[in-house]
Amino acid sequence: MTLAPPSSSPYRNYVYAYPHKTAYRRLPERPRLDALWAREPKDALSLYLHIPFCEVRCGFCNLFTRIGAPDGLTAAYLDALDRQATAVRDALNATGNGIDDHAATGTEGVRFVTAAFGGGTPTFLTAAELERLCDIAEHRMGADLRAVPLSVEASPATATADRLAVLADRGATRLSLGVQSFIDTEARAAVRPQRRADVEAALGRVREAAIPVLNIDLIYGIDGQTEATWLHSLDAALAWHPEELYLYPLYVRPLTGLDRRRDGPDPDWDAQRLRLYRLGRDHLLAHGYVQHSMRMFRRADAPAEGPDDYACQTDGMIGLGCGARSYTADLHYSFDYAVDMHEIRGIIDDYVSRPAADFAHAEYGRPMTPDESRRRHLLQSLLQADGLPAADYRARFGTDPADDFGPALDGFAGRGWLEHDTASGRLRLTPEGLAHSDAIGPDLFSPDVRAAMAAYERK
């Protein structure tokens, strides 16, 4: 296989999905969804609903979201989401597996095992609009939100008691709160205006809502952040005994609020982020958390995770909303992608004006060749602390990981990043390998995907 160009930085690219949307292209044939899903297993689907609105846009954010919404836009967006859900439901019905509009269980063939609301900030919606969002998931798509894991993203400003009550009543099992820092000056440096008092009040409301899993997101590598201030934020988060903590390195991406902050490689910043990562990792491990990936830490005594918990890279993903992805075995697809505020507003306006018939087709995407499917499976497994069971890979693809990716795997092992656990038959990243996940992932991108990402015209 061909490796990516060498780079000494441990922070090349956060691989949360492969291939990245910048490798997607317009699909001139606009394939029909009923044809795409005709031969797909539909007994363990994941459902993702995307809400592309935030009250502010953080300086580091390159997500598909807009600031605020003119009067009527959120209602129009939910109308479009309802039309899209109807079209997707009809496409799944056309494959011979009916979905009962009003029953979330008892359907034959089609079954949702996880659900997630993301964005953007889903809790930007009012409590009444969140009720409607849940109705779309349940009555249009047939997902029993009270019977499956349901994860919802929120911000401190929008985690109000009435919204949280709706989510708790409708079955939310996990609430992820983007805090980033408990120090006001650091939050401002990340262009995230917030006060710690408001963050603490929001955390109190989340706990009062009794949603089983609280996740707190924190960021390291912010201008002015030190080891002492990083530990201060970690301890402030730990005071709430969150079931999960995600530790994110700060990235400065094109077209974001911090885009002008850095120009070219910055070894000192890399060293700072790596130092703070190790400090945070060791601090959480010492406080009874288990590391599940470079970013994710889970309290050892947290409620058990079921086998069907949400995984954004699982085949059989149904994404609704103009920023959501859908995954079949042969095609990943979505709508157009942008980071620039003006471009995002145009895409959202186009989405809300579409008739239902438009949603019966895939418009932007990337075909998944056998090679890309192997890479994706390797990536999503290796970047987890549990690693890749070689037997699972052989059962799925009929080959051994070393046959398909030997030079890359040998290179990782030679750097002390990868080990083969013969007792379990797993390929597993070492602690130092997990620290370099954002270098390992891009090394495994295919030449075609790297070329498509490089050729993407940013907008």
* Tens of each residue's pLDDT in the chain, 459 residues: 444 444 578 998 888 889 999 999 999 999 999 999 999 999 999 999 999 988 766 545 556 677 778 899 999 999 999 999 999 999 998 764 444 443 333 335 788 999 999 988 999 999 999 999 999 999 999 999 999 999 999 999 999 999 999 999 999 999 999 999 999 999 888 877 889 999 999 999 999 999 999 999 999 999 899 999 999 999 999 999 999 999 999 987 655 444 555 555 789 999 999 999 999 999 999 999 999 999 999 999 998 765 434 444 457 999 999 999 999 999 999 999 887 888 889 999 999 999 999 999 999 999 999 999 999 999 999 999 999 999 999 999 999 999 999 999 999 999 999 999 989 999 999 999 999 999 999 999 999 999 999 999 887
Contact yes or no for 347/255 (Cβ under 8 A): no
> CA dist 105 to 43, 110, 114, 141, 457, Å?
12, 9, 13, 11, 44
User: 389 and 252, same structural domain?
Assistant: no
In a domain, 305, yes or no: no
User: 209 and 76, same structural domain?
Assistant: yes
Contact yes or no for 146/134 (Cβ under 8 A): no
* Domain closes at, from 299, 321, 347: 299
In a domain, 326, yes or no: no
In a domain, 439, yes or no: yes
User: 78 and 193, same structural domain?
Assistant: yes
User: 402 and 289, same structural domain?
Assistant: no
What integer pLDDT is reported at residue 207 of this predicted model? 98
- In which domain, by residue range, is 83 found? 21-299
User: 249 and 126, same structural domain?
Assistant: yes
In a domain, 10, yes or no: no
User: 391 and 289, same structural domain?
Assistant: no
Q: Please provide residue 300's backbone torsions phi and psi, each rounded to the nearest 5 degrees.
A: -60, -30
Q: How far is CA 75 from the centre of its chain?
A: 25
In a domain, 260, yes or no: yes
* Domain closes at, from 299, 321, 343: 299
Contact yes or no for 175/213 (Cβ under 8 A): yes
Q: How far apart are CA 394 and CA 399, in angstroms?
A: 5
User: 379 and 284, same structural domain?
Assistant: no
User: 288 and 374, same structural domain?
Assistant: no
* Domain closes at, from 299, 326, 348: 299
Contact yes or no for 169/131 (Cβ under 8 A): no
Whole-model pTM over 0.95: no
Q: How far apart are CA 324 and CA 317, in angstroms?
A: 10
CATH number of the domain within which 122 lies: 3.80.30.20
What integer pLDDT is reported at residue 3 of this predicted model? 42
CATH number of the domain within which 445 lies: 1.10.10.920
What integer pLDDT is reported at residue 297 of this predicted model? 97
Helices (H), 170-259: 184-189, 196-209, 227-238
In a domain, 147, yes or no: yes
In the chain, the number of structural domains is 2
User: 251 and 376, same structural domain?
Assistant: no
In a domain, 322, yes or no: no
User: 433 and 295, same structural domain?
Assistant: no
What integer pLDDT is reported at residue 7 of this predicted model? 53
In a domain, 323, yes or no: no
User: 430 and 283, same structural domain?
Assistant: no
User: 275 and 414, same structural domain?
Assistant: no
- 370-382 vs 401-414: helix axis angle to the nearest 10? 40
